[in-house]
């Protein structure tokens, strides 16, 4: 396949950036999207030009590092799929593909397609954990968890923190991410002790980072590579409203 790429190029955080056109040839349908970019970069390096910077790590859809908006959709056209698991069979010879970084005030561009998602780490640091006293591990089945709760916790825990929810939201809101992290712990016995503080501190940090509010467009749910439902956002709203309005109950 031969493709025309329109890629966002930005030399550094201070650069204004622009879309740049690249031609890439010799792409096969079994290549992943990132392998296609690798090929484009090899060509650029061969021509003595600066390769396109993009984030990636596991390349098997579990780490959440790969992050780009492909043809106007975070992680591209295939539902429930990270960019690294998107394959070139989703495109055809002669296609033009637009590639942009995830855009949000809280995700500043570092270079080209690479953005700084440290804001997510700070939200986790604010409350997305359980405190565990040291000592020997508890018996495995010491804390029974209802099947329903275990399933909900697992659904939420599928979040890989990629940030596609923020990238796709017209308001640049991080609520699906925060709701998934909060919902995961709220459904488990280990998460109960710090439940209210967690809701308050994670939401406070989310707001401080400059993410938008949720207008219930549900774009996040549509692009989430782990297909986490937006009903978790409803649960988070409930957690937060209860925790802030009746902290003692």
Partner 1 sequence: MSIGTTLKSSIGAKALMAVTGIILVLFVIGHMLGNLQVYLGADALNAYAAKLQSLGPLLWVIRLVLLGTFLAHIIAAIRVVKLNRAARPVAYHQQKDQATTFAARTMWVSGVLILLFAIYHVLHLTVGVVDPAGTYGALDSEGRHDVYGMVIAGFQHWPTTAIYTVAMVVLCLHVSHGASSMLQTLGLRRPGNASGFDKVGPALAIFLLIGNLSMPLSILAGLVG
Residues engaged in binding partner 1 (CB under 8 A): 6, 8, 19, 69, 71-73, 98, 100, 103-106, 168, 170-173, 200, 203-204, 206-207, 210-219, 221-223, 229-231, 233-241, 243-245, 247
Write out the binding residues for ligand HEM, residues 196-235 only, by CB under 6 A. 215-216
Q: Residue 243 binds which entry of ligand HEM, partner 1, ligand FES, none, with Cβ cut-offs from 5 to 8 Å by kind?
A: partner 1
As to burial, measured by CB atoms within 10 angstroms (0-12 exposed, 13-18 middle, 19+ buried), residue 9 is: middle
Minimum gap (Å) between residue 221 Cβ and partner 1 = 7
d(CA 99, CA 72): 8
Q: Residue 51 binds which entry of ligand HEM, partner 1, ligand FES, none, with Cβ cut-offs from 5 to 8 Å by kind?
A: none
Does the protein bind ligand HEM through residue 238 (CB under 6 A)? no
Residue 231, H or E segment: helix 231-245
d(CA 123, CA 111): 23
DSSP string for 91-144: S-TT-EEEEE----TTS-EEETTEE--HHHHHHHHHHSS-----SSPPPTTSS-
Q: Which residues bind ligand HEM (CB under 6 A)?
A: 215-216
Q: Which residues bind ligand FES (CB under 6 A)?
A: 56-59, 61-66, 82-84
């Amino acid at each position: 396949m031969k493709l025309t790429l329109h890629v966002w190029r930005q030399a550094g955080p201070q650069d204004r950036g622009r879309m740049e056109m690249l031609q890439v040839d010799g792409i096969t349908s079994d290549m992943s999207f990132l392998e296609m970019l690798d090929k484009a970069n090899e060509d650029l390096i061969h021509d003595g030009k600066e390769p396109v910077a993009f984030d990636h790590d596991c390349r098997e859809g579990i780490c959440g590092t790969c992050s780009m908006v492909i043809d106007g959709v975070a992680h591209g056209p295939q539902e429930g799929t990270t960019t690294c698991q998107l394959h070139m069979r989703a495109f055809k010879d002669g296609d033009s593909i637009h590639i942009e970084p995830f855009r949000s005030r809280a995700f500043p561009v570092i270079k080209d397609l690479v953005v700084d998602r440290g804001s997510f780490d700070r939200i986790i640091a604010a409350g997305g954990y359980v405190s565990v006293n040291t000592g020997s591990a508890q018996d495995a089945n010491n804390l029974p968890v209802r099947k329903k709760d275990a399933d909900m916790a697992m659904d939420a825990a599928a979040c890989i923190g990629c940030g596609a929810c923020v990238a796709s939201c017209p308001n640049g809101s991080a609520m699906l991410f925060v709701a998934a992290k909060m919902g995961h712990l709220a459904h488990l016995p280990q998460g109960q002790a710090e439940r209210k503080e967690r809701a308050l501190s994670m939401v406070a940090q989310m707001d401080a980072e400059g993410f938008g509010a949720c207008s219930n467009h549900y774009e996040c749910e549509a692009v989430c590579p782990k297909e986490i439902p937006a009903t978790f956002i409803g649960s988070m709203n409930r957690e937060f409203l209860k925790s802030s309005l009746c902290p003692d109950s």
